[in-house]
Structure 1
């Protein structure tokens, strides 16, 4: 394989920027970007991203748009191409037939069905570079985790007041997030394949878990309720109220679930009526969920962190206080201390109106 050049990095960066808005739209397939570039003039010939629902793949689309101009080009891919017959022909074969001379790949594809792609390209005389490009690795972290740990990439989002509270006892979550923060959370929903909440949150907060950003309601992902020992029934509006959006309930085997036929029930192993969290995430991984957004309450936050199942944590800090009767984000001290104890390190801060977004990630995993 040849070495990565400065131009290669620039085009891979561009490919990641192009693919990022499509994360969450490609079902069980990764949102791959493909850029065909004339290496002499360093100009873009064609580009594509994995189509809605996962088919067709980016490579075949970009090659089809370029036509005969693809010959002699360099192909930039955020992820290693497929090398097997499935619902589509192998993209590696299309690359070779098109006469593409060089392929630069941002991240290795750990799906076993992609094994051998680079060797096949090189044996056909196509120069190939595997870049291990950090933005590409981050873009496809969910796909990678699903094929290495059988679960999705988990991002948890929590809004806490200035005095460390989530809400008020008996009154559900406190309305402490400003509109910019609400918009940011909505944007994260559009880029997730599913949103997960616990049964207590579903009962007390009555969340819709939809995307309220103008024009993006159809980007609402699968809504999932994690049932507790008390089960769940259609009195919970997220389960019983018809919305037109896909909804599922994950429950421990034997726990009562009273839900309409439009709501999928997923049974997993557990203890004392509570689903095992790792088993629940594995079940979602089997359904093709790559990126999971969790909007947890106090119990679910603690459970996920204790089980080492959070890859990224977004803590939104409000300047408002809840005061007497507040429900703390963590009963064991400041939430930031709990995150640190779980091995998550702060990686950045930004302002969201009057609120502050603090991002934490697990350094040992794709970020």
Structure 2
């Protein structure tokens, strides 16, 4: 099941509003892997169908290990239950039931066909994988991951404006890994004008992935034609608004499910104040600047009792991969959801 979960989280796979990440592994009676598959985005075969296609005539008698209960409806593709039955799969093990009423009923269909079904294996880990999907559907807007890099005293740039690089090479590679799990990169016009970012996903050798997230720039200012975000490396959309809710509404209308917010401190503060941050990824570098640009702008907080206090979900020390660099610490934090940090007047 852990292999199926890893397949479900394959980087570079575009997931839009109504699409789930799912992985599937087919095993023989000795526990050997016969074939694997994962859902590669809207309109592509579901994980089970992809694994069955890879197995060809070897699927009969196997056990299908799937992160999600096989669907029992026809949408962009046919029902996975029928494909498993037709292939002669003997046993199905899945992590969590499908809560979507349109697709549910797979277990009953499989059992009626004489297939043994086991549910609940690593259900908690599978639930964590689908949190983005659940929040997006519940809120009817994209899930927002805010990424920032800061020094020990909370600075994202020095007093002279230099910010390359606050984080180390290991942190930047980790950032690209996380970017690859999102379908949209979001910054403000100020970041584009000052930093001229490329906003693409690249591997450890700085090569771009074949599938790139949508690049979104929000704000009312026009962008010079020579900005790198306007090149042909990925699709870019300009959101002519300064309102975070309106920006997310426009992205939701485009079918976007997961936004990676990499804008500057002003844009970050606007999303935090609006209660529109669902996850925070913070890289902390082990040095002080004492002055310079804060990692987040004014949140309207006047006293310690009003502090914005997300819950620490994970802490990892990222060891240096380049000689001479120092370790960075990555924090993953989760605000209460639905947000209890309502927008302050």
Question: Any conservation in 1 of the 2:9–2:21 contact (CA below 8 Å)?
Answer: yes
Deviation at 1:247, TM superposition (A): 0.5
Alignment of 1:1-367 (within 5 A): 12-22=1-11, 24-25=13-14, 29-38=19-28, 40-51=29-40, 54-131=43-120, 133-168=123-158, 171=161, 173=163, 175-213=165-203, 214=205, 215-227=207-219, 231-235=220-224, 237-238=226-227, 241-252=230-241, 274-275=242-243, 277-331=244-298, 341-353=308-320, 354=326, 355-362=328-335
1:154/1:292 contact within 8 Å kept: yes
Q: In structure 1, how many angstroms separate the alpha carbons of the residues matched to 2:173 and 2:112?
A: 49
Higher helix share: 1
Note if contact 1:110-1:144 (Cα within 8 Å) is conserved in structure 2.
no
TM-score (norm 2): 0.81
Tell me if the contact between 1:171 and 1:204 (Cα under 8 Å) persists in the aligned partners: no
How far apart, CA to CA, are the structure 2 residues paired with 1:359 and 1:290?
A: 19
- Alignment match, 2:342: none
Q: What are the ranges of 5 or more consecutive residues in structure 1 without an aligned counterpart? A: 1-11, 253-273
- Summarize deviations over 1:108-145 as a string: whole Å, max 9, x none: 33444313333333333333333161222222222333
The residue matched to 2:10 in structure 1 has which SS? Answer: helix
Tell me if structure 2 keeps the 8 A contact 1:305–1:339: no
Q: Does the 8 Å contact 2:159/2:291 carry over to 1? A: no
Contact 1:23/1:31 (<8 A) preserved: no
Cα distance change of structure 1 residues 359 and 59 upon mapping to structure 2, 3 Å threshold = same
Determine the C-alpha separation between the residues in 2 that align with 1:128 and 1:279: 44
Mark the CA change 1:172 to 1:56 in structure 2 (over 3 Å): closer, same or farther: same
Q: Secondary structure at the match of 1:347?
A: strand
Aligned equivalents of 1:282 and 1:14: distance in 2? Answer: 35
d(CA) in 2 for partners of 1:87 and 1:297? 38
Q: Structure 1 residues 325 and 87 mapped into 2: Cα distance closer, same or farther (>3 Å)?
A: closer
Task: Tell me how large the CA RMSD over aligned residues is.
Answer: 3.1
Return the alpha-carbon distance in structure 2 between the equivalents of residues 295 and 303 of structure 1.
13
Q: C-alpha offsets along residues 284-316 of structure 1, whole Å, 9 cap, x if unaligned?
A: 234332322111322222222233322221111
Secondary structure of 1:114's aligned partner: coil
Following the alignment from structure 1 to structure 2, what is the Cα–Cα distance between the partners of residues 177 and 19?
28
State the alpha-carbon separation in 2 of the partners of residues 13 and 240 from structure 1. 36
Report if the CA contact (8 A) 1:154-1:309 is conserved.
yes
CA deviation after TM superposition for structure 1 residue 26, in Å: 5.4
Distance 1:60 1:362 in 2: 37
CA separation of 1:326 and 1:53: change in aligned 2, threshold 3 A: same
Are the counterparts in 2 of residues 196 and 294 from structure 1 also a CA contact under 8 Å?
yes
Rounded to whole Å, the distance in 2 between the matches of 1:97 and 1:294 is 44
Q: Please give the TM-score of this superposition, normalised by the length of structure 1.
A: 0.77
Q: CA offsets, 1:48-73, max 9 Å, x none?
A: 11236651222112223334443332
2:227 and 2:305 map into 1 onto residues whose CA distance is: 29
